[in-house]
Amino acid sequence: MNYSNKGGKTGSVSNRNGTYETWNNVKTIFDHNLAINGDYRLNDDMGLTFTLGATSRSDTYDRNGVGSTGQQVFGVLRHFNFELQDEIQYFEKRNIIGLYGQAALDYKSMAYLTVAARKDWVSNLATENNSITYPSASVSIIPTTIFDGLKSDMVNYLKVRAGYGTSANFPNQYPIASVLSLNTQSFQDQSGGMVISNTSGSQLGNPNLKPELIGELEFGLEGRFFNNKLSADISIYNKTTKDLIISRPLDPSTGYTQTQTNIGEIENKGIEIDLGMDWFDNPNGVTWNTFVNWTTNEAIVVDLGQDTDEIIFGGFSDRGNLARVGENLGTIVGSAIARDDNGNFLVNSQGSYVEDNGINIIGDANPDWMMNISNTVSYKNFSMSFLVNHVNGGDIFTYSVATLLGRGVLKETAERANSFILPGVQADGTPNTVQINNSTYYFSNVLYGPDEMLVYDASVWRLAEISLTYKLPKSLLDKTPFGSIDLTASGFNLWYDAYNTPDGANFDPNIAGTGIGNGRGFDYLNGPSAKRYGVSLKLSF
């Protein structure tokens, strides 16, 4: 449901006169899978397992509803209270069929080799681009089984692995064709009759669009130590995405505002470390274990594969994420503070920054690293779990913080007597000495100044989840049909601190301001994040 009561002073004419929309969404999925499995012992030392199969999946999304305009009585949200009604309809369907196979060979339970491949055909791409094949292979060995002297109370288990895997992504909707939008109530003529219009859709079709292909080379080490109290899993990977699908903004003079296109090649390099520690393990007393996950990654554009040196996506043509060879995929571009030839900020005669409206790199939405720490503590029938995570680095362009500062509603702007001399130089190269007041700085420079002034470091600590569970004793369940009954109280996103943004804003950088897609690092007054509380009852039989 979506509505706007009449009487507004801004926005479209229909919004000011009142709108009311209701609709139903129906998502239908038909998924079929046929598989043949085999398990054989080739000899006393070697075993073989295999799977051959075919899949068919059909996804249908259907929206139907009514949109009404021209509210008669304020506050009455029923379609009969509106002057005009129009249908709300949207439909999309995609079919994917695939063939796959996998074979795994093991030698004395100490060495393993697995190979696999899959081929898919998708219905919403052009015939020459609607299929893709992606293979994979992996090998692993267990040194603690191969070398008898290696295993001890300190080193309980070691596994070394290497693998190369591929997968594919396909677009939704029907992005290869441009469409017409039919509106049976475009506007009224002088006699009150409705004028029907056919207009171009906002998206330009791209018949050359291809599916994405993701390939990853990974090397890993797994181990358990100190009588299995400490576990570790370390991975180093290089992931390459070819033909990444993005939404590319277009100049409205083309008749369209966006198109879906492919970026030639993106290279992700990273490290992931998982550590687990069992501090106490007493079934009749206290049990406490900790799990830590730490990751770092960078995504570098290797090849655009386009007729241009750069592509701006995930935003607008003058402010968005940049794809440029040699830069991170999450690079943020927009207007910046103008600089002179020596890199000094330029200040105008009124003491405010001069704006450079070109395509300037003003940030990078990719964090330097991320960490999750989870703990579970149990005592008899009670257990408590909590998850803390930390995002270190990464930038965000935020209108929320800038608006609160510019409107003077944060404690950081409370001292109205404060004045500022912005660091920089005048046009003639002399140091800036012009003093500006509190309002001019926060309103004219922060809120309505260069985009660069709206970029903050998005580092954040977060208490992501905490839960308390009580498990009913077995003695109370003997005469019931239940095997176990667990009662859990949970809370999510209970506390966070984005410590490099103004404290008064209480800002949460976990925001997808440009919606679903590859865009990141933008907040367009998206609203505050929410705390969630819940109680659950789990029954097993």
* pLDDT tens for each residue of 384-417: 999 999 999 999 999 999 999 999 888 888 876 7
Whether residue 70 is predicted with pLDDT greater than 80 in this model: the reply is yes
Q: Nearest-CA neighbor of 504 among 403, 398, 362, 401?
A: 401
In a domain, 7, yes or no: yes
pLDDT per residue over 315-364, tens digit each? 887 899 999 999 999 899 999 999 999 999 999 999 999 999 988 999 99
Per the CB < 8 A criterion, the answer to whether 209 and 175 are in contact is yes
Please report which residue ranges of 143-270 form alpha helices under DSSP H: 143-146
Residue 416's pLDDT is 66
Please provide the size of the chain in residues.
541
Per the CB < 8 A criterion, the answer to whether 49 and 38 are in contact is yes
Would you list the DSSP string of 379-400? ETTEEEEEEEEEEE--EEEEHH
Q: In which domain, by residue range, is 33 found?
A: 1-108
Backbone angles phi, psi at 331, to 5 degrees: -60, 135
In a domain, 374, yes or no: no
Number of Cβ atoms within 10 Å of the Cβ of 161:
17
pLDDT per residue over 114-161, tens digit each? 999 999 999 999 999 999 999 999 999 999 999 888 889 899 999 999
Residue 180's pLDDT is 84
Residue 512's pLDDT is 82
The average confidence (pLDDT) of the chain is 92
Among positive and negative, which fits the CA dihedral 330, 333, 339, 340?
A: positive
pLDDT per residue over 368-380, tens digit each? 999 999 999 999 8
In a domain, 57, yes or no: yes
In a domain, 431, yes or no: no
195-234 in b/e form (b: 16+ CB < 10 A) is eeeeeeeebbbbeebbbbbbbbebebebbbbeeeeebbbe
Residue 22's pLDDT is 97
304-324: average pLDDT: 85
Residues in Cβ contact with 475 at an 8 Å cutoff, skipping those fewer than 6 apart: none
Per the CB < 8 A criterion, the answer to whether 540 and 447 are in contact is no
Residue 124's pLDDT is 93
* Residue 105 CA to its chain's centroid (Å): 37
Q: Nearest-CA neighbor of 3 among 82, 63, 61?
A: 82
Whether residue 192 is predicted with pLDDT greater than 70 in this model: the reply is no
What is the DSSP secondary structure assignment for residue 151, as one 8-state letter?
-
Per the CB < 8 A criterion, the answer to whether 226 and 276 are in contact is no
Euclidean distance between CA atoms 356 and 353, whole angstroms: 9
What is the DSSP secondary structure assignment for residue 516, as one 8-state letter?
S
Q: Nearest-CA neighbor of 523 among 422, 371, 403?
A: 403
Q: What's the Cα-to-Cα distance from 101 to each of 58, 122, 533, rounded to whole Å?
A: 21, 19, 44
More confident residue, 292 or 87: 292
Per the CB < 8 A criterion, the answer to whether 134 and 106 are in contact is no
In a domain, 432, yes or no: no
pLDDT per residue over 1-25, tens digit each? 899 999 987 777 888 899 999 999 9
Residues in Cβ contact with 278 at an 8 Å cutoff, skipping those fewer than 6 apart: 228, 229, 230, 287, 288, 289
Q: Which residues pair with 262 in a beta bridge?
A: 245
Confidence at 514, pLDDT banded by 50, 70, 90? confident
Residues in Cβ contact with 325 at an 8 Å cutoff, skipping those fewer than 6 apart: 301, 302, 303, 304, 309
User: Token pair for residue 431?
Assistant: 């140091």
Our count of domains for the chain comes to 1
Per the CB < 8 A criterion, the answer to whether 200 and 99 are in contact is no
Residue 257's pLDDT is 87
Euclidean distance between CA atoms 182 and 175, whole angstroms: 18
In a domain, 202, yes or no: no
First to last CA, the chain: 40
Whether residue 307 is predicted with pLDDT greater than 80 in this model: the reply is no
Euclidean distance between CA atoms 239 and 303, whole angstroms: 14
In the chain, the percentage of residues whose pLDDT exceeds 70 is: 99
pLDDT per residue over 273-298, tens digit each? 999 999 998 878 899 999 999 999 99
Q: Which range is most confident: 152-166, 177-191, 253-267?
A: 152-166
Per the CB < 8 A criterion, the answer to whether 324 and 310 are in contact is yes
